[in-house]
Structures are given as structure tokens and as C-alpha cells.
Amino acid sequence: MTIASIEDLRLLARRRLPRALFDFIDGGAQDEVTLRRNREDFSRLALVPRVLTDVSERDQSVTVFGQKLRSPLILAPTGLPGVLWPDGAAAAARAADEAGVGFCLSTMSTSSIEDIAKLSRQRTWFQVYVMRDRELTRDMMQRARDARCSALVITVDLQVQGQRDRDVRNGLTMPPRLHWSSLLEFGLHPGWLWRYATGPKPTLANFIGAGKGTDMITIAGFVNSQFDQSVTWKDIDWVRSVWDGPLALKGITSAEDAKIAVAHGIDGIIVSNHGGRQLDGSPSAISALPEIADAVQGRAQLVLDGGVRRGSDVLKALSLGAAACMIGRPFLYGLAALGGAGVSKALELLRNEIDVNLALLGRAGVEELDASAVTRVAR
Ligand SMILES: Cc1cc2nc3c(=O)[nH]c(=O)nc-3n(C[C@H](O)[C@H](O)[C@H](O)COP(=O)(O)O)c2cc1C
């Protein structure tokens, strides 16, 4: 199958993964209204090209938190990539490193902070939640600092886990278990089954050593008990006092919250609804961006996260004030379809699309993008 777009990688991932796993990455919360909005609202923005501007040399590099990225892309933090492909997080981190883009490791990853820090030349961002056990949270931050992670991301939109109907219907368990009912599904995907059965057993590697066992079921039970619904801005002040490097909050779509974040000394805001996986009905990330950019007035860097599937989406986000975009599913589809090579493919596709569309927009560099490059249309 020739891969021409992220959608092609998605279709290949759908063929190669057991249904429940594909739905785990592809799906969103409840009716998936927000998941769809993240895409649809990009199509409500049109790009306005300028002509006769000499675009013979083009530059899509950006600087985020003082770190230069060859393309304005950061792989979003995602849990359990090792279930899709053996050592999936390491494969993705390597692909990001080779492409010169950012990589944000999730606390819920199947590779540890130390493993990822060892293999990537560029420094990695680390995403964590303010967990019930503040000492454990502090310890994670210390490990991230020791591993020379270049930014800390606190995800703030997971007060509780969103309800994902597809996972409920599929009876999804982590790690995937061989039930009679799932045997046929697994049998239909022998490539995945072989890799899963023979590869390293995925587990929540960052929690090993927290004294809670090593297998995924035991650790997952512990981690679930760590989500803290009482977290407030006071806890963000505490994080700020512990972490002196660049600090970003992920999961903000309200301009008011963006202003409060700036007042609390936050360096970056990741405008995000968790890829439509948390509060269904919340606004799309791209529709929230202009108001947030307006509220923040350059006092923090903005990263758009959610719904990016084309280079043109990245250009729209940058025109509306984002310094870069995070991508979640696009790299996960690549990983599930082809391993690390699939992540590299996803990044190459987006890089080329950004380059071609930048030329067609009549801009030689992404720093030339501003609100004049986009206009709102009915569809
Ligand atoms: C399978 C999967 C696992 C995820 N795990 C995490 C996580 O551990 N922490 C986090 O902050 N966000 C997590 N996210 C959300 C992503 O970081 C990101 O916000 C989202 O994927 C962006 O939308 P997109 O997939 O349309 O690019 C996850 C998303 C997916 C699809």
C-alpha cells in the first residue's frame, strides 16, 4: 500500500491492529463530538495565498522553549505505545530525534524517563500529572531533571478519566488479554500478535521501583488510584517552585484559564482537549487558539494540540499564534502500522506538506505567518 497521507497510515493501522486496540487510539469520549470538531474546525479556516513573493528558499524551523525544532512539531505524550509496537516509545523518540522535532514522554509510557533520555540526542519533554502522592510527583520531576528533560508538561484536563464508549463496548483491558471472544480478532492480526507475544512485555515503566510491582495490571491499579480530583492552581505554584525549567500546562481551552496560567508563571500553554478523549462537547483546540493568543499576548508560548492531520493544519495553527503543534494519533497510526519507520513516515509527510503549502501560501518561512494567512469560511 502506497502511503500518501496520515489517513493512509490510519487505514493501515486499522488493518494491522486488533479492533479494540485500534479503537483505543482512534476513538474519543462519548459521542465523539469534540473529536470530530478538532478536525472540522480546521476545514472552517481557509488559507489565503499571496503570490509573486520569491519562495525559492523556505524555512519551517521554529524555536520552542529556547530549543530549535527543524519542523514545528512535537510528538504528544501518549500512554502505552509499547502495546502497539514493541518498545514503541523508544521507536517514536528515535524517529523524532532523527527528524529534529520534539518528543514529549508520557508518565504512562511503556519506556522510562531514563531509557528515553539515553537514546535521544535532543532533549525530551516530560509529561506528568499532579498525583495524589506529591512525593511521587516530586520524584518524577527530579528524575526528569536528572535525565536532562528540557521541559515539563503538566496535564490538567484529566480530573477523572473521560468515558470512551468504544473501549467500553470492546471490553478493552490493558494489557490486552486473550479471551475466547478476542481470539478471532487476535488471530486475524498475526503480525501484531507475533510482535506482542515475542517482544518485551509492555508495562508502565515509570512506576517500576515505586514499590508497586512490575506487571501492568498491578501498576495500572496503583496509577488509577493516583489521579487527584482536588488539584488546584496552588499545586501548580508548588510545581513551579520545584521545577525551574520551562513549564507548560496541557489541556487548556479557556482564555480565562490561559490568563491565570500566565499569572502563575507558566512558560507554555498547550491548547488542547486531550484529542477529544476527555470532555465531549468541549471546543476544538483550533477554535480556542485565537482567544487564548489574544489573552496571553506573547507572555507564554502556545502549542496547538488536537486534530492536526495535514501540513496545512499546522500552518493554520501557526498563523493564529501557535509556536508549534503537538501530534498524537498521526504518529501512533504510523507506529502501529510500521513501527519506528511509520513514525518517520508520518513526520516526513507532514514536513513535506508544510513545505509545499508554505510555498503555495507565498511565504518563505513560518515566521511570516500571521492572522492574514487565514480566513473563516462556512465549510
Ligand atoms: C492512545 C492515546 C494515549 C494518550 N495518552 C496521553 C497521556 O498519557 N498523557 C497526556 O497528556 N495525553 C495523552 N493523550 C492525548 C495526546 O497527548 C494528545 O493530546 C492528543 O492525541 C492530540 O490529538 P490528536 O491525536 O488529534 O493529535 C493520549 C492520546 C491518545 C490517542
Q: Find where cell 486473550 sits.
A: 178
Among candidate residues 179, 189, 264, 274, the one labeled active-site is 274
Quick check: 162 pLDDT over 80? yes
Radius of gyration of the chain (CA): 20
Report the phi/psi class of residue 176: left, alpha or beta, with left for phi > 0 and alpha for psi in -120 to 50. Answer: beta
Cell of 27: 476513538
Q: Of 113, 71, 79, 67, which is closest to residue 95 (Cα–Cα)?
A: 71
Is 309's C-beta closer than 6 angstroms to any atom of ligand 1?
Answer: no
- Which of the four pLDDT bands, split at 50, 70 and 90, describes residue 177? confident
Distance 201 CA to ligand 1 centre (A): 22
pLDDT tens, residue by residue, 342-372: 999 999 999 999 999 999 999 999 999 999 9
Q: What is the largest CA-CA distance in the chain?
A: 64
pLDDT tens, residue by residue, 11-38: 999 999 999 999 999 999 999 999 999 9
Is 275's C-beta closer than 6 angstroms to any atom of ligand 1?
Answer: yes
Is 272's C-beta closer than 6 angstroms to any atom of ligand 1?
Answer: yes
Is 111's C-beta closer than 6 angstroms to any atom of ligand 1?
Answer: no
CA 264 to chain centre: 24
Is 108's C-beta closer than 6 angstroms to any atom of ligand 1?
Answer: yes
Q: Hey, whose CA ends up nearest to atom 13 of ligand 1? A: 78
Residue 145's contacts (CB-CB under 8 Å, 6 or more residues apart) are 243, 245
pLDDT tens, residue by residue, 198-219: 999 899 999 987 766 777 788 8
Residue 87's contacts (CB-CB under 8 Å, 6 or more residues apart) are 110, 111, 199, 200
Quick check: 6 pLDDT over 90? yes
Quick check: 250 pLDDT over 70? yes
DSSP of 174-221:
SS----HHHHHHHHT-HHHHHHHHHSPPP--GGGTTTTS-SSHHHHHH
Q: Hey, whose CA ends up nearest to atom 10 of ligand 1? A: 77
366: burial class by Cβ within 10 Å (0-12, 13-18, 19+)?
buried
Cell of 332: 501512533
329: part of which helix (H) or strand (E)?
A: helix 329-338
Cite the beta strand spans of 231-293 per DSSP E.
Answer: 247-252, 268-272
Query: What does CATH list as the number for 6-376?
Result: 3.20.20.70
Predicted local confidence at residue 175, as pLDDT: 77
Q: What is the mean pLDDT of the chain?
A: 95
Q: 189 catalytic, yes or no?
A: no
Predicted local confidence at residue 211, as pLDDT: 61
CA distance 221 to 369: 46
Quick check: 129 pLDDT over 90? yes
CA distance 317 to 13: 26
- Which of the four pLDDT bands, split at 50, 70 and 90, describes residue 189? very high
Cβ contact 96:77 at 8 Å = no
Reduced DSSP (H G I as helix, E B as strand, rest coil) percent helix, strand, coil of the chain, to 5: 50, 15, 40
pLDDT greater at residue 216 or residue 148: 148
Distance 50 CA to ligand 1 centre (A): 35
